[in-house]
Amino acid sequence: MRFVSGAVIMLLAGFLLGVAVRPGPALSQRPEPKVHGVFDGDTMYTVLPPGGIPAITEPIFISGEDAEEQMSPDEMLMGILVGGEARAYSLWHLDAHEIVNDSIGGVPIAATW
């Protein structure tokens, strides 16, 4: 896996952008944080159960033209280049999911934020 610089990410935006995802649970549906314990005087909270942040397992990519209509010009992306094949992932989507399990050129990757 290779992470690329911001300049290369902007170049990748011309190829493929964005990931179609289901929205996460509404704030009212999320569980209240529970006290997990106290460590070195600091309270540790359990906010989400294991698996509480669903990974994107079947990303759907859109064209650069379609992404240009849907995304703001200053939206940040994470770009990955494997064997000459590029992917760009919206950090806005990764804020809600934190990981995309994908395959680029037959190589399995995990894009995580």
Q: What is the mean pLDDT of residues 62-78?
A: 89
pLDDT level of residue 103 (50, 70, 90 thresholds)? very high
Q: Is residue 89 part of a domain?
A: yes
pLDDT tens-place string over residues 79-90: 998 888 989 998
Alpha-carbon dihedral 17, 14, 71, 48, rounded to 10 degrees:
30
pLDDT tens-place string over residues 38-62: 889 998 888 777 777 888 999 988 8
| Token reading at 57 | 């397992």
Contacts of 3 (CB under 8 A, 6+ apart): 78, 79, 80
Report the b/e string of 5-26 with b at 16+ CB within 10 A. eeeebeebbebbbbbebeeeee
- As a whole number of angstroms, the distance between CA 94 and CA 57 comes to 12
Domain boundaries, position 71: 6-22+32-112
In total, how many domains does the chain have? 1
pLDDT at residue 44, rounded to an integer: 86
Q: Is residue 62 part of a domain?
A: yes
Q: Is residue 1 part of a domain?
A: no
pLDDT level of residue 30 (50, 70, 90 thresholds)? low
pLDDT tens-place string over residues 3-21: 443 333 333 333 333 443 3
Q: Is residue 50 part of a domain?
A: yes
pLDDT at residue 102, rounded to an integer: 94
Give the C-alpha distances (Å, rounded to integers) separating 81 from 15, 76, 90, 103, 108: 11, 16, 15, 11, 12
Chain centroid to CA 77: how far?
A: 9
pLDDT at residue 36, rounded to an integer: 80
Beta bridge partners of 47: none
pLDDT at residue 29, rounded to an integer: 63
- As a whole number of angstroms, the distance between CA 47 and CA 33 comes to 4
Q: Is residue 27 part of a domain?
A: no
Q: Is residue 73 part of a domain?
A: yes
